Structure 1
């Protein structure tokens, strides 16, 4: 074997070294952490900070850093703040474009380059000790979401301990699938307690991107730290892969439609030549 040859699962697997490395980690662990494109990440954070500033001005509140939002925002206002910022961010497509570009190399390596993207990404604001901000344990595929999707999750503050997303890693998920029956009959709290010892909380710093398999059980517990959590998750998928309940044109929009696809969609057979 020469230094330029790459070991792949089959002779028809033409993926290159970086893609194979990312893919192997993602397949084994169920998630992957890589550096974001800083230029685009800073644009995203600035948009969030500006929207947060508009909210505090509108409600005559003190403006703080994102990490200290809990000093200005009460627990009961957390969801109102989240909806206000989402409305500001998603008026056009600039935020979507910057989001895609901030994690483009990860998305291309794991998902492809002819893509559709979630129209309204999800913003998480988890204030310290706010029970209303808990995201119960779930897997998106349990509710009609396509297993062909990639969830790209970007934090806008450093996340550690209970600020982190937790996940049931793939090996433990596969073991539980073999050992257990009827777990989906449990309530969310009961399922969380049942799986607790096998869950992994994923620490991640601002400047990094987490891509994870949303078919694995995951969620957010109560933030017991003294810093507010801010993150956004957005789903990407191969344009031509199955959509299940989340449809193209409704939940997803095409973002990188290649020329052959565009031409094929507009093709007209010359029937009158026959």
Structure 2
């Protein structure tokens, strides 16, 4: 269902963006910097709160997210991650700014009557910490609707092994036809396709939108900086839901007037 011909009223800009997304499985666009900076400050303040509560000694009052591994041990990265997630999940303003930071690309790829993931995900990958590796997977293999769009936002510059990797789409489509991927464990899967991965270099200030039905993951961070990134799923409010339901995992965020009227409608006969 690639094209409806004369009935496709999208702008040329939107068509071009969507064509790249359909071809590669992802696109990178500029974020709204004002809202992205607010998002990063939320994260930085929540991370500092964890440091204060744990009484972790820090050499300098001025430090960056990239430097957290210099005063924390690798096993603490998950405790830090969970603490920050719990902190930001208490404030819906965080979700609002996250949405506004990527609003343009969400509208072009997903629509403008939307549902948004309630709890935004956070990845922290310390250098050479095996516990932070995210094995190759596709979200739709575990009950996630293919109608969802993953908006992935780096909070630091990501290069080389700090990058999210995604299987090249043409390779994935070939493997999908013979169902060979699902017969492998995650390590064997990675070895089979590692030469056909795209390592997505991205800097702070950009957002990545990708098709989460394509296998992706994080390898071991072999750089000298800590990786920090956020991920959140958006979907058209009226598109099919699988295991992750509206009101439980998703919340409506841009409910339009006609939908509100329809929800409240009562037929005179009843």
TM bucket, shorter chain: over 0.9
Q: d(CA) in 2 for partners of 1:23 and 1:181?
A: 27
Structure 2 residue 142 is the aligned partner of structure 1 residue 138 = no
Per the alignment, in what secondary structure is the counterpart of residue 265 of structure 1?
helix
Show the counterpart of 1:49: 44
* Alignment match, 1:15: 10
Cα displacement string for residues 87-123 of structure 1 (whole angstroms, at most 9, x for unaligned residues): 1111021000000000000000000000000011110
TM-score (norm 2): 0.95
CA drift at 1:17 = 1.5
Aligned residues: 264
Kindly report the root-mean-square deviation, in angstroms, between the aligned alpha carbons of the 2 structures. Answer: 1.1
Q: Which SS does the other structure have where 1:271 is aligned?
A: coil
Distance 1:271 1:181 in 2: 52
Task: Mark the runs of 5 or more structure 2 residues left unpaired by the alignment.
Answer: none
SS of residue paired to 1:11 = helix
Structure 1 stretch displaced more, 24-33 or 184-193? 184-193
User: For residue 242 of structure 2, what is the aligned residue in structure 1?
Assistant: 244
Aligned residue number for residue 224 of structure 2: 226
Return structure 1 stretches of 4+ with deviation > 2 angstroms: 175-178, 180-183
Which residue is 2:80 aligned to? Answer: 81
Shift of 1:9: 5.4
> What stretches of structure 1 of length at least 5 have no aligned partner?
1-7
In 1, Cα distance between the equivalents of 2:132 and 2:216? 15
Q: Secondary structure at the match of 2:27?
A: strand
Residue 204 (structure 1) aligns with: 202
Q: Contact between 2:32 and 2:101, CA under 8 Å: does it hold in 1?
A: yes
Q: Distance in 2 between matches of 1:181 and 1:144?
A: 18
Aligned match of 2:55: 60
Could you tell me how far apart the structure 2 residues matched to 1:226 and 1:33 are?
24
| 2:96 partner SS | helix
Cα deviations by residue, 1:60-112 (Å, 9 ceiling, x for unpaired): 22163100010122111111000100111110210000000000000000000
Q: Which is further off, 240-249 or 263-272?
A: 263-272
- Cα distance, 1:271 vs structure 2: 1.3
**Deviation sequence 1:196-226 (CA, Å, 0-9, x none):** 1111110000000000000000000000000
Q: CA deviation at 1:182?
A: 3.1
**What is the CA-CA distance between 1:176 and the residue it aligns to?**
2.4
Corresponding residue number in structure 2 for 1:72: 71
Q: Within the alignment, does 1:30 sit opposite 2:29 as a pair?
A: no
